[in-house]
Structure 1
Amino acid sequence: MRKPEPVAPPRLPIAVRAAVSTAIPVLLGWAAGDVGAGLIATLGAFTSRFGVGRPYLSRGVQLAVVAVALAAAVAAGAWAADIAWLGVLTISAVAVAAVWLCTALAVGPPGAYVFVVACAAGVGVSASHLSPGQIALLVLAGGAIAWLVQMVGAATGFRRPERAAVRTAAEAVAGYLDTVGEPDQDRARHRAATALHQAWTNLVNHQPLAAPAGSELARLRATTHAVHVLFADAMSAAARGEAPEPGSAEVARALGARRVEPDTTAHRDPDRLPLGRPPTRDLLRQALQTGSQTRRVMVRVALGVPLAGFAAVGLGVDRAYWAMAAAVLVLHQGTPLWRTLRRGAERLAGTWIGLGLAAAVIVVHPQGWFLAVVLALLNFAIEMLVTRNYLLASVFITATALTIGTASRHLEPGQVGHLLLARGLDTLIGCAVGMAVYVVLAGRQEIRRLDDAIARTRAAIAATEPFVAAGDAVSLPARAARRDLQRATLDMLEAHEAATGGSKDQRAAAHRLWPDVVAVEHISYETIAALWAIETR
């Protein structure tokens, strides 16, 4: 059984925002008579890739932090560019820090990779002879444009992300209610639990301001509470071998469509909300603890990225940062073995194919508005393809990077050939080093990951038992225990999925421990359902 993936947002709006955020800086640079400055500012357009699906207030804060961080990363790369070994160490430090922060704080895609690319690009744009501070300001200006493009939707649908999350959760719960007692029951339950978790995250964690009584946010919270009560009641009934209440799936769908009032299903105390994630300092500290998956990935990145950089420098590659970026791409997500190897192979193949497209663009040498259109179309294609076919997306990623790097100057045919060969070589180095580091480290690092995840979930179940026995589901410690149990259960399912796609020993462990995973998972959901039942008495 695989852990259900979070519901993916539509790609078209994301792709349009990426295209517009890239085109505007180029057009402004062209109008000002400095296309090079406009191209540097496009590095800030990466900001538009973040915050998808977040409520707009939270999104605005996150995007502002991302824009500043991108500017700082590019400036750091430009500062360290003159000394090869210093550039390698700087990019490596940014890579490890970005993995730590983005993973621990669940920043979301594209994650740490973008900050490493920005720092590496800073090494390249140092040739512009601008100071690191000037480069940072240009990138920050591009980030500000991307911020505006991302936030423009707030004018027509300020609560649209929250409404979408609640509707998705209601549909997922209805799907579970329809499948209770059928073979697909477990998958549907996990899908519903994940969707509810996403909805509460949007309604609680990502809300910087309080929700006044009678506000739309308060009503959405009441709706999600009513849907969650239906989910919990159905799980309790299933544990007793009973079917859900007749018509409950239709009620869940009606709640999601806001056709019925939530109080007709379950009343909620507006002053009592499910606890969100732990404080930021706790998340960052937990990410560094022994046995943390984030820490495992940080170790791989800390070894693989500088190895790729120094290997490229040693082989005389003139842009070693491409090799380092490729290594980060392979390593930073911490995916299972075969998915990691496939991602590395797709990036390598896509890069080599993309060199042909890049060569055509470089020969045409678009300028002015034509350059803005070309870059916009390339970025549009990347965002439309990146979640569906990474190999094809890599073709356009390569063409985009080389177009930005060469558009401000004209290259002779011999220079074009050298550039393309160098880019293919350093991507080969980075992917090879990244995959080698993964193969060497991951087997040892993850051999006990599933056992540890099961043990943590059992401990989380034990921590909730006193509250169930006492009939306490509303005190702060009780709600914290319920939250921690939910997180531990999802982490356990993720660890099992990783093991099924891992090495031979990991796959054997996944098969051997599958009965334990199922048993612990069932107890976990029964415990969570019991706490919800206590709360709604």
Structure 2
Amino acid sequence: MQSSRSATKSSRLRHSGDALAHSLSATAWRDALEMRSADPTVAVALRVGLATLITLVGGGLLGYGEVAGFAALGALCSAFARYEPYPRLAAKVICVGLGLVAYTAFGAALGALGLSMWLQIALLSVAAGMSYLLLTVFEITGPGPVILIFAAAGAAGFADDADDVGLVTIAAVIGALVGWAIALLPALYHPHAPARIAVARALAAVSALETGGETALPAAHAAIARAREVIALGTTRRMDSHTHELLALVDAAESVVHSGSHDTHRARLDDFARLEGELRKVRRDIAIPRVDATGAPVVDRPENFVRTGMRRLTGRATTIGVGRITLASLLAGWFAEAAGLQHPLWATMGAMAALQGANYRHTVQRAIQRLLGNVGGALIAAVLLVLDLGYWPLVLAIVLFQTVTEMVVTRNYAFASVFVTTMALLLTGLGAKLGPDIAISRVADTLIGVVIGVIVAALTIAHGDRHHLAR
């Protein structure tokens, strides 16, 4: 029995050691710069940029420029759940907006109470774990829970009394309302957009059956199921003709998968590639060629996401994820505070951002990307802060960087981190006078955060997590 436990412990240490070695490998750093294909992002990016612009311009015109950044953070709820059908998007964006308001108020309360930085780090680390839990179990995709902690950390640094708490909370509420309205704006003029994107993904997954390897078939089944779900969630009691066409395309894709014939795959490949391209366009005048379907379309409405999320609250994988993020955030923040760094909560955010990876390989990739992006973004922000541009030029720069972030984030997180870091530092500069030395602090805090995040991930890696070894 003793020898069995020793062997297990030795195996675990070797697995963790191999994981740490992977973080220093050339493969890991090369993967961090890989550009991926992505769904349409320009329209989403412009909407997020518009929401940010409205809040910052409104705050400046009303004489509340010092808290306009918190309204802009509230408006970032528009960046979440970007490809969800509109009824579900409305509900999820409300949840994120409420979360941003709550975390802003919570952080401001910590600052107003005058709590020590050690205690603030501890409380915000627990809050980091909770934000990860809620966004994960309810499957709310987007920038991730780090945005909530950034809002809380910024509010903690700003608020000195109860009036400040009320001011930043109201700003976050206004921003969240603007973000929610802007996120739902396309429902008025392009109601089929989420369903079209989901069907395009299904067609792409089926087209990849010839070259995608052993994972291609499960991916195709999952994409088809997702397309049906999105269509169902966005469908009213009476389906229009375009919805029937989309369902017919899904039926056609499913028939190719079930045929199991390579000849069938090749015969439909060109058709699916052409239809996929048409579906991804956002213009209303694009007509999808009619595809004959057998029988009447069947749309089963999925279960409410809140109900399914509640059942996942106590899942083992989720619980482990919450514990890892809480621990890594705490250690990173306390280490940065002990080292005398100016903004230790940024180290907390660096750790939790890295640990949002789906597996260890993805965690290392995100850690490298965040570090590289923070270095580049901090340098750009330092130059702009030295120029002392004033409020309105900073507003234009923030909106530009936020918009570009949304355009590239699904393609490469490192490049997105360059722009989001610049935007975040400029937002911070709206409420407080910052010098170029802030760039050094940002990079140092981020380095501490991602290193501790990767170490915690390696020490707690699951036995079956071997994606990094396979590569």
TM-score, length basis structure 2: 0.80
Task: Give yes or no for the alignment of 1:499 onto 2:471.
Answer: no
Q: Distance in 1 between matches of 2:430 and 2:266?
A: 64
Maintained 8 Å contact 1:15/1:381:
yes
What is the aligned partner in structure 1 of residue 221 from structure 2? 193
Task: Give yes or no for the alignment of 1:151 onto 2:184.
Answer: yes
Aligned equivalent of 1:164, options 174, 178, 197 = 197
Q: Which amino acid aligns with 2:348?
A: M
Task: Give yes or no for the alignment of 1:299 onto 2:299.
Answer: no
Maintained 8 Å contact 1:227/1:252:
no
- Please state how far the C-alpha of 1:248 moved relative to its aligned partner: 5.8
Are residues 33 and 436 of structure 1, via their aligned partners in 2, closer, same or farther at CA, if it must alter by over 3 Å? same
The superposition leaves residues 335-389 of structure 1 with CA deviations (integer Å, 9 ceiling, x where unpaired) of 323x322322332233233322112111222234322211111212322333334
Maintained 8 Å contact 1:26/1:371:
no
Q: Which amino acid aligns with 2:139?
A: A
What is the aligned partner in structure 1 of residue 91 from structure 2? 61
What is the aligned partner in structure 2 of residue 89 from structure 1? 122
- Please state how far the C-alpha of 1:175 moved relative to its aligned partner: 5.3
| 1:39-188 equivalent positions in 2, closer than 5 A | 39-81=69-111, 82-83=114-115, 84-127=117-160, 130-173=163-206, 176=209, 179=210, 184=212, 186-188=214-216
What is the aligned partner in structure 2 of residue 476 from structure 1? none
| 1:433-472 equivalent positions in 2, closer than 5 A | 433-442=452-461, 446-447=462-463, 449=464
Structure with more contact order per residue of length (Cα contacts < 8 Å, sep ≥ 6) = 2
Maintained 8 Å contact 2:207/2:272:
yes
Task: Give yes or no for the alignment of 1:32 onto 2:54.
Answer: no
Q: Distance in 2 between matches of 1:426 and 1:249?
A: 49
What is the aligned partner in structure 2 of residue 535 from structure 1? none
What is the aligned partner in structure 2 of residue 382 from structure 1? 405
Q: Distance in 2 between matches of 1:388 and 1:98?
A: 24
Q: Distance in 1 between matches of 2:436 and 2:247?
A: 62
The superposition leaves residues 485-534 of structure 1 with CA deviations (integer Å, 9 ceiling, x where unpaired) of xxxxxxxxxxxxx52225xxxx4xx9xxxxxxxxxxxxxxxxxxxxxxxx
Maintained 8 Å contact 1:116/1:328:
no
Aligned to 1:10, the other structure's residue is in SS state coil
Q: Distance in 2 between matches of 1:221 and 1:386?
A: 28
The superposition leaves residues 458-495 of structure 1 with CA deviations (integer Å, 9 ceiling, x where unpaired) of xxxxxxxxxxxxxxxxxxxxxxxxxxxxxxxxxxxxxx
What is the aligned partner in structure 2 of residue 288 from structure 1? 314
Maintained 8 Å contact 1:101/1:284:
no
What is the aligned partner in structure 1 of residue 32 from structure 2? none
The worse-fitting range, judged by mean Cα deviation, of 142-151 and 253-262 is: 253-262
- Please state how far the C-alpha of 1:305 moved relative to its aligned partner: 0.8
What is the aligned partner in structure 2 of residue 366 from structure 1? 389
Q: Distance in 1 between matches of 2:208 and 2:370?
A: 36
Aligned equivalent of 2:352, options 328, 347, 350 = 328
Maintained 8 Å contact 1:350/1:393:
yes
Are residues 287 and 234 of structure 1, via their aligned partners in 2, closer, same or farther at CA, if it must alter by over 3 Å? farther
What is the aligned partner in structure 1 of residue 442 from structure 2? 423
Q: Distance in 1 between matches of 2:236 and 2:456?
A: 48
Are residues 355 and 277 of structure 1, via their aligned partners in 2, closer, same or farther at CA, if it must alter by over 3 Å? same
Q: Distance in 1 between matches of 2:251 and 2:431?
A: 57
Larger Rg: 1
Maintained 8 Å contact 1:233/1:244:
no
TM-score, length basis structure 1: 0.70
- Please state how far the C-alpha of 1:56 moved relative to its aligned partner: 2.0
Maintained 8 Å contact 1:354/1:395:
yes
- Please state how far the C-alpha of 1:441 moved relative to its aligned partner: 1.3
Q: What is the number of equivalent residue pairs in this alignment?
A: 424
Cα RMSD over matched residues? Answer: 3.1
Q: Which amino acid aligns with 1:316?
A: G
What is the aligned partner in structure 2 of residue 346 from structure 1? 369
Maintained 8 Å contact 1:9/1:52:
no
Aligned to 1:35, the other structure's residue is in SS state coil
Task: Give yes or no for the alignment of 1:233 onto 2:258.
Answer: yes
Q: Distance in 2 between matches of 1:62 and 1:320?
A: 30
Q: Distance in 2 between matches of 1:148 and 1:301?
A: 32
Q: Which amino acid aligns with 2:67?
A: A
What is the aligned partner in structure 1 of residue 10 from structure 2? none
Q: Distance in 1 between matches of 2:417 and 2:268?
A: 45
Are residues 218 and 377 of structure 1, via their aligned partners in 2, closer, same or farther at CA, if it must alter by over 3 Å? closer
Aligned to 1:147, the other structure's residue is in SS state helix
Gaps of 5+ in 2: 1-34, 277-286
